[in-house]
Structure 1
Amino acid sequence: MAGLLSTIGKHTASEDSAFEYLVEQGLLAKERRCSKCYPAPNLSLIRRSDIADGWTWRCSLRGCRTKVSIRKDSFFSQSKLRLTTWIKLMYLWASDIPVTKVRCHLDDGECSTTTAVDAYYLIRDIYTGKLLASPVLLGGPGIVVQIDESLMRHNHKYNRGRGPLDHIWVFGMLDTSLSPGVGYMEVVDKRDAAMLLPIIQQHTRPGTIIHSDQWAAYRDPAARLPTVACHRTVNHSRHFVDPQTGAHTQAVESYWNSVKSKLKSMRGTTDGMLPGHLDEYMWRERWGSGANGWMNAQTAYNSLVRHICTMRMRRKIFYVAVYV
């Protein structure tokens, strides 16, 4: 196994070790009950040499013998990939390995690029769902949040998609009290007050100080938004930093450079995928970073495992039979 995957080597040595690990992590059920029998007995785990997983659940009643996949109602139920391969793919994603490079880290024939793309799509559902369940909140009493919009001139894969005149604007906010800064981004159809001010209100804590340029949509948010205590601007046609208030947007502009550098490294994307890529960037900032604030593969992997388990519980995916 390649060095990158050595950390999870003991969990991917065999399908049995993968199954035991995923049960231990709460990603697969450790027990089930039969949905057809009353009172419902626990299903028994039996060895199956004719299936890739190697195990299946079976009702212990002689007149039933209902069989249930160990993947039923789990994150892995939508895929036929081996569980060992799934663990590897999760770690490769956490390590920020592009989907086009996944096969370089796997055994020959273990996973096609198309299948890896499908797996990354399923992981996207997890981090996007986590962001929806835990809305981003920035700032707070006396904390400066810089805001700005940026034009995303990304390349289109396969030369498909909207032309260069159909610009995609992203509105961004950066909490400057943290190092490195932590932000929020959202694709916007318009850059007017009706579009941008509700986003500021939704993603800032009470008492936040806003720094921005003098774009008209930002006019006087402190009087219009309950969470904004103060608004300071900088006139970029004259200064990079306002000489009187010290207001500037240099941190959020640096943030845009980092985001665009990440998108550029992907060698193009599609318009429909851009929001997902922004979500991934924000997820990694919050749950994929080490103690020093920089992104860390092991931290991201542990968070991914935890969030898959959390989403599974939230959606009541753990199998429970209810009898009246």
Structure 2
Amino acid sequence: MCFHHGLLRRERACGRCGQPAHLDMKQKRFRCDRSVAVRKQKRRRCAWSASMFVGSFFEQSRLDVETLLIFVIFFVRERFTYRHELGVSSATFTNWSSFCREVMVHWALDRQGMIGGQGKIVEIDESKFGRRKYNVGRVIDRQWVFGGICRETRDLFLVPVEDRTSDTLLAVIKERIAPGSIIISDCWKAYNCLSDEGFEHLTVNHSYHFVDPDTQGHTNTIERQWRKAKRKVPLCGRRKKHFAGYLARCMFLMHYQDLNVRLHHFLCAAASLYPPA
């Protein structure tokens, strides 16, 4: 699995003499036993060696590779009890969960681009993440998130924003939605300028109906994504500075519904972020 997805390499050049090194699977190290010239008529063994994990996703791990791969499988399959099943400490669990989210952030940034296009429909909406259950208990950091989804391609973006002002939302719209798109939103005043920015803008007034009777416009698709995303963002122990990671994880898990396909793309993203030396 690790070699197939590019997480580890079977071949590497010697860091001293440049010749192909031998992979010792038992010691998990690359070794060079070639004879090199020292002075006239004298030679010695190169004896260079390096861990096969240098530069890879596994380099800083104190866990063995098998345990870490099981951790990754449980993480992408949303098995929330795996810390006790694997017997890892709370600190190890937290650190490797963070590393896995970094891989998903890399995946999200690599796919980042404009959605929609000429004649395509993009639904947009904003939502606040974080609340107290039954209005009791500790108030956790709340975060506004702006999102959009293209109906035709199902391409989705979720972006944490500081507020819902026109300047803030318009900057994201220009960056993430292609000109000529048909944008459907609610009647929030920050969207009033969209018709002047190269978009066809339709609205639905949620005070009266969920589907506009004249244009048949609705934002049901993006609102379904909020329900899915909020189930995947942790309710406790989260930090506002990590919200981009939480949202990247949401988009990754929502994009790949098949668990095997999801694992495959995670390992490919990890190999891209941490290419072995």
Aligned to 2:2: 22
Cα distance in 1, alignment partners of residues 96 and 226 from structure 2? 28
Aligned to 2:66: 84
The correspondence of residues 49-198 of structure 1 with structure 2, limited to 5 A, is 54-61=27-34, 62-98=44-80, 101-106=81-86, 109=87, 111-154=88-131, 163=139, 167-177=142-152, 181-198=154-171
Alpha-carbon deviation of 1:268?
Answer: 5.5
> Which letter maps to 1:42?
P
The correspondence of residues 40-51 of structure 1 with structure 2, limited to 5 A, is 40-46=18-24
Cα distance in 1, alignment partners of residues 29 and 152 from structure 2? 51
Cα distance in 1, alignment partners of residues 247 and 30 from structure 2? 40
Cα distance in 2, alignment partners of residues 113 and 297 from structure 1? 25
Q: What TM-score comes out, normalization by structure 1 length?
A: 0.73
Cα distance in 2, alignment partners of residues 97 and 307 from structure 1? 20
| The one of 28, 34, 41 aligned to 2:14 | 34
Cα distance in 2, alignment partners of residues 47 and 271 from structure 1? 43
SS in structure 2 opposite 1:186? strand
Alpha-carbon deviation of 1:235?
Answer: 2.4
Aligned to 2:192: 219
Alignment CA distance shift 1:189-1:274 (3 Å): same
- The question of whether the paired residues in 2 share the 8 Å contact of 1:152 and 1:167 is answered with yes
Alpha-carbon deviation of 1:118?
Answer: 1.6
Alignment CA distance shift 1:177-1:57 (3 Å): same
SS in structure 2 opposite 1:252? helix
Show structure 1 runs of 5+ residues with no match: 1-20, 49-53, 289-294, 320-324
Cα distance in 1, alignment partners of residues 50 and 183 from structure 2? 55
Q: What TM-score comes out, normalization by structure 2 length?
A: 0.85
SS in structure 2 opposite 1:120? helix
- The question of whether the paired residues in 1 share the 8 Å contact of 2:54 and 2:276 is answered with no
Cα distance in 1, alignment partners of residues 131 and 12 from structure 2? 48
Alignment CA distance shift 1:267-1:235 (3 Å): same
SS in structure 1 opposite 2:178? coil
Q: How many residues align?
A: 265
> Which letter maps to 1:235?
N
CA RMSD of aligned residues (A): 2.5
- The question of whether the paired residues in 2 share the 8 Å contact of 1:143 and 1:176 is answered with yes
> Which letter maps to 2:165?
D
SS in structure 2 opposite 1:76? coil
Higher relative contact order (CA closer than 8 Å, sequence separation 6+) = 2
Cα distance in 2, alignment partners of residues 91 and 221 from structure 1? 43
> Which letter maps to 1:283?
F
Show structure 2 runs of 5+ residues with no match: 35-43
Identity of aligned residues (%): 29
Aligned to 1:296: 258
Cα distance in 2, alignment partners of residues 155 and 57 from structure 1? 53
Q: Which runs of 4+ in 1 moved over 6 A?
A: none
- The question of whether the paired residues in 2 share the 8 Å contact of 1:42 and 1:59 is answered with yes
SS in structure 2 opposite 1:236? coil
> Which letter maps to 1:72?
V
